[in-house]
Amino acid sequence: MPMNDAVDATIDLGGGVRAALVVAGSFRSDAGSLLGPAPWVLWRDIVGDEPDADRRLLQALNCLLVETPAGRVLVETGIGERISDKMRAIRGVQGDPILPAMRKAGFDPGSVDVVAMSHLHFDHAGGLLDAEGRRGFPRATIVAQRAEWEVALDDNPRNIAAYDQPELRLVRAWGDEGVADGEREVLPGVSVVPTGGHTGGHQGVVVRGPRGTLAFFGDLAMRPWSANPRWVTAFDDFPLDSVRTKARLFATAADEGWTVVLSHEAKVPIGRLERDRDRFRWVPR
Please identify, among the stretches 14-22, 117-125, 174-182, 239-247, the one whose residues bind Zn ion according to the rule CB under 5 A: 117-125
| Interaction between residue 219 and Zn ion (CB under 5 A) | yes
Instruction: Kindly indicate which of the ranges 93-101, 122-130, 140-148, 266-274 contains the residues binding Zn ion, using the contact rule CB under 5 A.
Output: 122-130
The yes or no reply on residue 265 touching Zn ion (CB under 5 A) is: no
Q: Is 123 in the site for Zn ion (CB under 5 A)?
A: yes
Q: Cβ 202 to Zn ion, closest distance in Å?
A: 10
Smallest gap from residue 219 Cβ to Zn ion (A): 4
Does residue 81 bind Zn ion (CB under 5 A)?
no
167 near Zn ion (CB under 5 A):
no
Instruction: Please give the C-alpha separations between residue 242 and each of 157, 219, 228, in angstroms, as whole numbers.
Output: 21, 10, 11
Selection from 168, 75, 146 nearest residue 113 by Cα: 75
Q: Could you tell me which stretch among 77-85, 159-167, 200-208, 217-225 binds Zn ion (CB under 5 A)?
A: 217-225
Nearer to Zn ion, 68 or 165 (CB): 165
> Whose Cβ is closer to Zn ion: residue 228's or residue 263's?
263
Q: Residue 113 or residue 123: which is nearer to Zn ion going by CB?
A: 123
Judged by the rule CB under 5 A, the positions of this chain that interact with Zn ion are: 123, 219
